[in-house]
Amino acid sequence: MRNTGTRVGKEIVQLYIGDEKSSLVRPVKELKGFKKIELAPGEEKTATFKISVNDLQFFDDGKHEWVSEPGKFTVFVGASSADIKSSLEFELN
């Protein structure tokens, strides 16, 4: 992200993950992380996130345990769930 203005600015970068095919109903976008970034005028920064298997898990009431299922996932990055700036697909084997 880049601050194109003339004043110091702040932005919250949010990371969401969506499970394309889950055995349970899950939200389309689940918030998994966020970072508050401060930018001086003209400054550019990159927000970096690490995604672990724990970020892909959900609690299965039937099994009474946390589970992660193989399949396709989508990472969404933006200012909010309604203001997505970038997305990327990956697969968990």
Query: For position 27, which CATH number holds?
Result: 2.60.40.10
* Contact by Cβ (8 Å): 14, 80: yes
Confidence band, pLDDT 50/70/90 cuts, at residue 14: very high
Residue 1 inside a domain? The answer is no
| pLDDT (average), residues 71-93 | 96
What is the edge-to-edge ordering of all strands in the sheet holding 30-39? Answer: 30-39, 9-19, 71-80, 83-92
Residue 13 lies in a domain: yes
Instruction: With cut-offs at 50, 70 and 90, classify the pLDDT of residue 1.
Output: confident
pLDDT in tens, 17-69: 999 998 888 999 999 999 999 999 999 999 999 999 999 999 999 899 999 99
Q: What is the pTM of this model?
A: 0.88
Q: Count how many domains the chain has.
A: 1
